[in-house]
Structure 1
């Protein structure tokens, strides 16, 4: 089923013509629970991966033996989803007993800090499905991976992300069983399988990224915080998973993102977000999902929460081979 975002409550470009020159298209991916195949664009689905190509692994030193069993994260979701569909009162006593046994622990003590562990297949995007996917000449398929532990970078609290691009028509024999790590640091780093319903919409820069004079004009137009349409919530950046567009900066405020090799301003490639909407962004709920807004977790189909809840991969638009940067908000 396609997803259709309602028109914005206000034509913000008519009110502030300056914004017309800043508009950008973004592709909302609208992941929804399903059973994608290797030939589909997906979040958390199986990848089109060659049988003779090594699966990406993390070898960056960090503790990797303690956490949650990957298999139990998947099993818990299966039980809860089955129970939700069967009976709103929740799991049976037998199911509850099984769930009670799924606990954080030192489940893989045999793993040394530098043992290679499989990266998690997060998403794959075919250019035919995602209009906003940049054409880099490296192929028509983008595949995204991350480590199941947030123990990387200078802070030692960051994700390790890897990207692969390939020509799908060149893939021969396929890898039948795709590797997964034994243990993950948080269940929220394991995406549930979702099919995508890509839709192009228009975005404008996040409020704090605008010129201060324009910020003042918008603030005066909005009036008190509890009145009128809110630029941040309704008129700038779309919530949820998306390709392209603008970065929302609610936690840190905007900062300069420059390529470490050539100095070019980095551009958002993919944003992975915990929620498809929240109480402040209900105007972005697609028409097709309006009947489900009262269902618990309807706005959290992927069940992932990277970093602080929203992670953007920003890449160099001049050269896809240059280092990318992660923005956690």
Structure 2
């Protein structure tokens, strides 16, 4: 259950938006070319996830977005009884309010989590890791950080199925929102070369490590899954 419930509805918060022209791999429903990811910036008890912000996916046509506001209409909130306005930040969890930032996407090659591989490949990887100072998971497998598509990392729980609630088809990762872009284990492989000169614990390093300032779960990543048959079937979630 929520440890606090606002007395009246609060605005959802914009998290990210993507255009089909930039990322055609996203399964946009017919007639749409803009995906806006929003969520309620408070804890919700979600099935198989626990406490997390509740996402909302809005599929639109970019040409329909004609009047773009210079300032978001969600800075203040007025109570129904006409009481004093309260900043949305005071009605939300700070950890769920993303810091505005510009996306600089980079395409990378990923490989499935070891448990998703055939048994003979898992055995070969285990033998390779026994002779290596690094882990397959950190070196080659799954990119950490915020990303579109790719594979899920099942490092916090056992791997489990996420069938579509409408048709039963196994869902696939759409968007991962991570609390950090890399950590001590994944830094040798996934920390950008352009940022490796920055000293740990400095403000400059912290800004590249946590550009969105989101804190999800126990410093974890929230992944939104979509049905490959229809994006309009809704979504499923994990936190790893």
TM superposition shift of 1:209: 2.3
8 Å CA contact retained: 1:313, 1:327: yes
Structure 1 segment 236-315 matched on structure 2, within 5 A: 236-282=141-187, 283-292=189-198, 294=200, 295=202, 296-297=205-206, 298-308=208-218, 309-315=220-226
Q: Deviations along 1:138-171, whole A, 9 cap, x unmatched?
A: 4221111111111233576232110111111222
Equivalent-residue separation in structure 1 for 2:128 and 2:13 (angstroms): 45
Larger Rg: 1
Partner of 1:119: 12
TM superposition shift of 1:293: 5.1
Q: Deviations along 1:67-106, whole A, 9 cap, x unmatched?
A: xxxxxxxxxxxxxxxxxxxxxxxxxxxxxxxxxxxxxxxx
**Would you say 1:153 and 2:46 are equivalent positions?**
yes
Equivalent-residue separation in structure 2 for 1:211 and 1:171 (angstroms): 46
Partner of 2:79: none
**Would you say 1:222 and 2:129 are equivalent positions?**
yes
Structure 2 runs not aligned, ≥5 long: 76-87
More displaced 10-residue stretch of structure 1: 120-129 or 159-168 = 120-129
Q: Deviations along 1:47-77, whole A, 9 cap, x unmatched?
A: xxxxxxxxxxxxxx95656xxxxxxxxxxxx
- What is the TM-score normalised by the length of structure 2? 0.83
Q: Deviations along 1:80-134, whole A, 9 cap, x unmatched?
A: xxxxxxxxxxxxxxxxxxxxxxxxxxxxxxx42xx21111111111222334323
Structure 1 runs not aligned, ≥5 long: 1-60, 66-110
8 Å CA contact retained: 1:274, 1:300: yes
- What is the TM-score normalised by the length of structure 1? 0.62
TM superposition shift of 1:182: 4.5
Q: Deviations along 1:248-275, whole A, 9 cap, x unmatched?
A: 1110021111111111110100000011
Change (3 A) 1:182 1:201: closer
Partner of 2:83: none
**Would you say 1:166 and 2:60 are equivalent positions?**
yes
User: Deviating runs (4+, > 4 A) in structure 1?
Assistant: 61-65
**Would you say 1:197 and 2:104 are equivalent positions?**
yes
Q: CA RMSD in A?
A: 2.2
Change (3 A) 1:184 1:231: farther
**Helix, strand or coil at the partner of 2:139:** helix
Structure 1 segment 39-54 matched on structure 2, within 5 A: none
8 Å CA contact retained: 2:225, 2:237: yes
